[in-house]
Amino acid sequence: MSVVIVGDKATRDARIRAALSVLDPIVIELIDEGHKHVGHEGARHGHGHYALRIVAETFRGLTPIACHRKVHSALGDLLRSDIHAITIHASAPLR
C-alpha cells in the first residue's frame, strides 16, 4: 500500500495507516469524512473525522467492542492528536 504525502491531511492519514499496520490488516479503507463536519469543534483544531473499515485475522472470534478496543489501542495517541471522531467497522476475513 503506497501513500503519497501531500500536506497535513495526507501526513495524518499516513500516520493512521502506519499505526493500524500493527494489526496486520488485509484491508484498510480509511475515509476522511471531514467535509461533513465543517465548523465542528474537532475540525477547527485540525483533527480528522473518519470512517474506517478494517479486516484482519486478529479480530476473529472477538466481540465488536473488543475489536474497537484493539483499533483504539493501535491508534493510541493519534486519538488525541489527529483524530476527533472515528466510526469503526472491524471484522475478520471471510473463510
Q: Which residue has the higher pLDDT, 48 or 66?
A: 66
4 within some domain: no
Q: Pinpoint the alpha helices (H) of 21-63.
A: 41-44
Per the listing, cell 467497522 goes with: 89
Total domains in the fold of the chain: 1
Helix then strand then coil, in percent of the chain rounded to 5, is 45, 25, 30
pLDDT tens-place string over residues 13-44: 999 999 999 999 999 999 988 756 555 554 55
11 within some domain: no
Which pLDDT score, from 0 to 100, does residue 90 have? 98
14 within some domain: no
Which pLDDT score, from 0 to 100, does residue 40 have? 56
Which pLDDT score, from 0 to 100, does residue 82 have? 87
Q: Which residue has the higher pLDDT, 2 or 25?
A: 25
1 within some domain: no
C-beta separation of 26 from 56 below 8 A: yes
Which pLDDT score, from 0 to 100, does residue 36 have? 63
CATH number at residue 40: 3.30.300.90
Which pLDDT score, from 0 to 100, does residue 48 have? 80
Give mean pLDDT, residues 55-64: 98
pTM of the complete model: 0.81
